[in-house]
Amino acid sequence: MTAPSYAVVDPATGATIKTYDLIGDEALTDAIGRAAAAGAEWGRGTSPEQRAAVVRRVGELHTERRRELAEIIVREMGKPIEEALGEVDFSAAIYAYYADRASELLADEPIRLLDGEGSALVRRTPVGLLLGIMPWNFPYYQVARFAGPNLLIGNTILLKHAPQCPESAAAMEQIFHDAGLPADAYVNIYASNEQVERIIGDPLLQGVSLTGSGRAGAAVAAIAGRHLKKVVLELGGSDPFLVLENDDLDPVVAAAVAARMGNGGQACNAAKRFIVLDRHYDEFLDKLTASMTAIEPSDPSREDTTLGPLSSTAAAERLEQQVEQALASGARLVAGGGRDGAYFSATVLADIAPDNPAYSEEFFGPVAQVYRAASEEEAVRLANDTPYGLGSYVFSSDAAQAERVADQIEAGMVFVNVVDADGAELPFGGVKGSGFGRELGRFGADEFVNKKLIRTGG
């Protein structure tokens, strides 16, 4: 390749701040070998308590360097500074969660024998070298939920971040090393897609975790399958937000805006399709539109900014094309739709028919789609009529209805009468086209681990 593919390009200004060279093939071979060999020292040569101490220190260093880290991702992908600081804090909490629960998560699990004398147990041990392929929208958080549990387990990591996040990737690698992790147990690499394929096929690699698009997930899963490698995929989402029986729509609308507009709408698990019972539809649409359009894009470095630019001009152009195609296919533009470079105004679409491409696409940005449902049953049908199945939101003042509907939603996660409720202890992941496997909580700590049976006779 003639030019570096990794660069910090400030989406607010379009200025290229710094470029980074791809790793060479010889250096990549060396990195794979060193990271795999580091498992002997890190995974087998340390106790869970020793590994927990390092993971805890990683979290503490995130807190100590929170402003520096936050400012990096403001210029890398345009995240408003207050949200960037919040992401750093959440990442620190994830490392603390795993460090505090090392003995619990890695404890031997006795099995009661049905027949025979002696004993049996499952012991959790590391599987070895893992590859993490991370996206740009949450540069620190995505790494934390992958690296935190897997380093605690004793696995070692090659980390391939998004090409627009090289500075934050390097800052994290430095934190791991400063925390006391052996240098080769976590290696940041600026690799091409072709090099990623080579890494996955290397016999030293034991597993891959990818967060990204469905296209990227399918490609990685196909390569991993050919080489019999475990893979965890967290892909896209077009999460439904169901507005059912409610006496007061104001708090529901506030929650809807928060669920749609966080990170500029650039989140896999953001609410994207608002499915509203007929009797609430007009009022909800009016109030949602007023609240959405009151949010104006502005400089992400300002502390009062809630909507910065999208991650790049290219991302804003893609979103603009999706909106234009939706309108050409019969959707109604209720408000918004404007673009200025990488900045995109808060937008509301309605009257989207099933044959409209927008009906089944993911809109990665501040665009809300609003659907009318004649009944609870139709609301559930609309919610499930999507190729995705990541998260979902159910708002109802009728507790029985909320529970009934939550049980019928085809998604990995259902949030009832609450948004922004992710936590280090809560499993994150989806079904259908949104991928498979889980991150965070004890389920995330069980993905890349050898659950070794040890059966002892009497």
CATH number at residue 447: 3.40.605.10
Give the distance from CA 187 to its chain's centroid. 21
Residue 410 designated active-site: no
Domain enclosing residue 75, as ranges: 6-234+434-456
Handedness of CA 160, 361, 83, 296 (dihedral sign): positive
pLDDT in tens, 180-193: 999 999 999 999 99
Query: pLDDT at position 420, please?
Result: 95
Task: Establish if 429 belongs to a structural domain.
Answer: no
- Calculated CA dihedral for residues 168, 237, 256, 90, nearest 10 degrees: -30
Tell me the C-alpha distance between 126 and 112, whole Å: 24
- Whether 1 is in a domain gets the answer no
Based on the fold, state whether residues 410 and 346 are members of the same structural domain: yes
pLDDT at 2: 37
Quick one: 221 and 130 in the same domain? yes
How, if at all, do strands 230-234 and 205-211 pair?
A: parallel
- Shared-domain flag, residues 445 and 402: no
* 7-24: average pLDDT: 96
Residues 105 and 445 sit within 8 Å (Cβ to Cβ): yes
317-327 mean pLDDT = 98
Same domain assignment for residues 280 and 414: yes
pTM, rounded to two decimals: 0.96
Q: Are strands 239-243 and 435-436 parallel, antiparallel or unpaired?
A: unpaired
**Whether residues 293 and 388 fall in one domain:** yes
Indicate if 126 and 256 belong to the same structural domain: no
Closest to 348 measured CA to CA, from 245, 416, 253: 253
Q: Indicate whether 166 and 148 sit together in one domain.
A: yes
Distance separating alpha carbons of residues 68 and 80, to the nearest angstrom = 14
**Residues belonging to the chain:** 458
> What are 296-308's pLDDT values in tens digits?
999 999 999 999 9
Q: What's the pLDDT tens digit per position in 265-289? A: 999 999 999 999 999 999 999 999 9
Q: What tens digit of pLDDT does each residue of 121-159 get?
A: 999 999 999 999 999 999 999 999 999 999 999 999 999
For residue 1, pLDDT over 50 is answered with no
Instruction: Give the pLDDT band of residue 338 (cuts 50, 70, 90).
Output: very high
Are 334 and 377 found together in one domain?
yes
Q: Are 248 and 389 contained in the same domain? A: yes
- Compute the half-sphere exposure of residue 174: CA atoms within 13 Å on the CB side of its CA: 11
Q: Which amino acid is at 79?
A: K
pLDDT tier for residue 352 given thresholds of 50, 70 and 90: very high
Is the residue at 351 inside a domain? yes
Residue 426 inside a domain? The answer is no
- Total domains in the chain come to 2
Catalytic-role residue among 234, 376, 439, 447: 234
Does residue 289 lie within any of the structural domains? yes
Q: Which of 76, 167, 268, 361 is catalytic?
A: 268
Asked if 216 and 99 touch (Cβ cutoff 8 Å), the reply is: no
Distances (CA, A) of 22 to 8, 195, 212, 371: 14, 10, 20, 45
Co-location of 193 and 280 in the same domain: no
On the question of pLDDT at 4 being above 90, the answer is no
234 has catalytic annotation = yes
Neighbour tally for 32: CB within 10 Å: 21
CATH code of the domain in which 245 resides: 3.40.309.10
Q: At what angle do helices 193-201 and 214-226 cross, to 10 degrees?
A: 30
CA dist., res. 192 & res. 131, Å (int):
14
Nearest 5°: the CA angle 151, 153, 158 is 35
| Residue 446 placed within a domain | yes
What would the pLDDT profile of 76-90 be if each residue is shown by its tens digit? 999 999 999 999 999
List, for residues 43-79, the tens digit of each pLDDT value: 999 999 999 999 999 999 999 999 999 999 999 999 9
Same domain, 198 and 255: no
Share of the chain above pLDDT 90, in %: 98
Residue 394 lies in a domain: yes
- Same domain, yes or no, for 144 and 293? no
- Summarize the confidence of residues 159-184 as an average pLDDT: 97
Contact 394, 415 (CB under 8 A): yes
In a domain, 230, yes or no: yes
Note the Cα 28 to chain centre separation in Å.
26
**Rounded alpha-carbon distances, angstroms, from residue 199 to 29, 36, 175, 212, 220:** 9, 12, 24, 18, 11
Residue 14 confidence (pLDDT) above 50: yes
Using CA atoms in the order 67, 157, 188, 139, what is the torsion angle rounded to 10 degrees? -40
The predicted model gives 286-297 an average pLDDT of 97
